[in-house]
């Protein structure tokens, strides 16, 4: 499925696709299990990771494609990525999704099968690796619609790409790539930006947050409102769905009744159950304001642990002679009394080879997980672990 020539799928069609392609949830669960492991704040744009993995899927051979399908438990990861890209941008004033591509200026992708090399009769005839016309077509389509010719042999090219990522994210993501190898042939970047105000303005007060390493006095956000919640009676996980002015995205915030580590308890079912709640509960929410940036940069290890390691050794491009040399990611998220701003980017570099009752108390005054969730689809597009709201 072409990321640029296919018309926008309907919300219902995307929902049906998500029932059999839970790739976003698998990535989200892996992030919580493998990235949110320490005592530091962290934030990940799962949407961005899915987009670049989808591009690797489209350019990979059968082994690469099978690994992506199994790792994401999704038989149509490319269709899923396309649908989510449309959902992130179409008719949504708060989300902006961008997909960028770059190719080596003097070596544009080609679908022409090279002529057999001529060798001396005394030597074995050389065999050029067979090209895959379908993969080559997908490369050419993306390059033709979104690709930009650059010279990867020039050190300044990395700065150029980073500057364009910065512009695409409103200056929120700087220096996505460390210096790219001079033999890079293709680079793909996915970026996503979110910004919106709370539907109901929150009030603030100083209060205590019991952090992962220390207790701190910080600014707490307070809200009393009728909200969708998980009250913890089912399995000890408390969840609250907080609305923004625009209905496209909500913030899901999770903690536990007994104060145990919520990272080890969260799964797809909690997102689906909270997204499906129709009955509102009068709730008093207490949570800190925070402004955090991602710490982990390379995601090669995470993707490899999910069983998708072949792409880093080869099997990419029309003739299997390319490999993914970098899979880098950066994200930021800021939440205060006015609302939330978030931005993320991920990229791959391909190289050769009435009277109110007592409110339900939802207190997020110890380390918690929060996600920006697409309202209609119920999938997390950003997920953060807040261990200490005073630290970046």
The fold adopted by the segment(s) 199-290+334-338+356-386 is Alpha-1-antitrypsin; domain 1 (2.30.39)
CA distance 225 to 10: 32
3-state secondary structure of 264: helix
For residue 130, the model assigns a pLDDT of: 67
Question: Residue 135 has what pLDDT?
Answer: 79
Question: Which pLDDT does position 116 carry in this prediction?
Answer: 38
Please, is 286 exposed, middle or buried when counting C-beta atoms within 10 Å of its C-beta (0-12, 13-18, 19+)?
middle
CATH number of the structural domain 14-91+95-112+133-194+295-328: 3.30.497.10
Distances (CA, A) of 203 to 222, 337, 339: 5, 6, 12
> Domain-by-domain residue ranges, the chain?
14-91+95-112+133-194+295-328, 199-290+334-338+356-386
Q: Distance between alpha carbon 306 and the CA centroid of its chain, in Å?
A: 15
- pLDDT of amino acid 257: 96
What's the whole-model pTM score?
0.90
pLDDT at 376: 87
The pLDDT, as a whole number, for residue 34 is 94
CA dihedral angle for residue 88, residue 92, residue 96, residue 99, rounded to 10 degrees: 40
Which mean pLDDT values do the consecutive 10-residue runs of the chain (392 residues) have? 53 90 96 95 97 92 96 95 84 81 79 44 49 78 80 95 95 95 91 95 95 96 97 97 94 96 95 96 97 96 96 89 92 97 93 79 96 93 97 93
- Assess contact for 224 and 198: CB atoms under 8 A: no
Which pLDDT belongs to residue 143?
Answer: 72
Task: Give the pLDDT of residue 110.
Answer: 61
pLDDT score, position 118: 35
**What was the pLDDT predicted at 117?**
39
């Amino acid at each position: 499925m072409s990321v640029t020539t296919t018309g926008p799928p309907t919300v219902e069609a995307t929902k049906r696709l998500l029932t059999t392609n839970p790739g976003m949830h698998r990535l989200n669960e892996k992030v919580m299990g493998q990235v949110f492991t320490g005592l530091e704040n962290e934030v990940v744009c799962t949407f961005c990771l899915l987009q670049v993995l989808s591009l690797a899927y489209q350019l990979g051979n059968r082994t690469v494609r099978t690994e992506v399908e199994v790792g994401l438990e999704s038989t149509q990861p490319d269709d899923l990525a396309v649908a989510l890209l449309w959902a992130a941008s179409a008719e949504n004033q708060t989300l902006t999704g961008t997909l960028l591509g770059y190719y080596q200026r003097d070596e544009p992708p080609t679908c022409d099968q090279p002529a057999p090399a001529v060798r001396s009769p005394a030597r074995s005839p050389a065999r050029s690796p067979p090209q895959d016309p379908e993969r080559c077509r997908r490369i050419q389509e993306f390059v033709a619609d979104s690709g930009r010719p650059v010279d990867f042999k020039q050190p300044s090219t990395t700065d150029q790409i980073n500057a364009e990522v910065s512009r695409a994210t409103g200056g929120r993501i700087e220096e996505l790539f460390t210096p790219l190898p001079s033999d890079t042939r293709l680079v793909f970047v996915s970026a996503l930006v979110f910004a919106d105000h709370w539907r109901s303005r929150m009030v603030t007060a100083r209060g205590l947050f019991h952090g992962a390493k220390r207790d701190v006095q910080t600014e707490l956000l307070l809200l009393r409102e009728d909200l969708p919640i998980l009250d913890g009676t089912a399995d000890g996980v408390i969840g609250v769905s907080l609305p923004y002015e625009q209905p496209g995205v909500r913030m899901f915030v999770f903690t536990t009744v007994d104060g145990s580590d919520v990272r080890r308890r969260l799964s797809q079912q909690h997102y689906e159950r909270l997204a499906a709640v129709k009955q509102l509960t009068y709730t008093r929410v207490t949570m800190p304001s925070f402004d955090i940036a991602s710490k982990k940069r390379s995601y090669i290890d995470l993707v490899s642990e999910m069983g998708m390691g072949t792409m880093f050794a080869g099997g990419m491009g029309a003739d299997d002679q390319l490999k993914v040399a970098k899979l880098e990611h950066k994200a930021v998220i800021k939440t205060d009394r006015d609302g939330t701003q978030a931005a993320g980017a991920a990229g791959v570099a391909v190289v050769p080879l009435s009277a109110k009752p007592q409110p339900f108390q939802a207190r997020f005054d110890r380390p918690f997980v929060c996600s920006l969730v697409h309202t209609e689809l119920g999938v997390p597009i950003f997920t953060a672990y807040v261990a200490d709201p005073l630290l970046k």
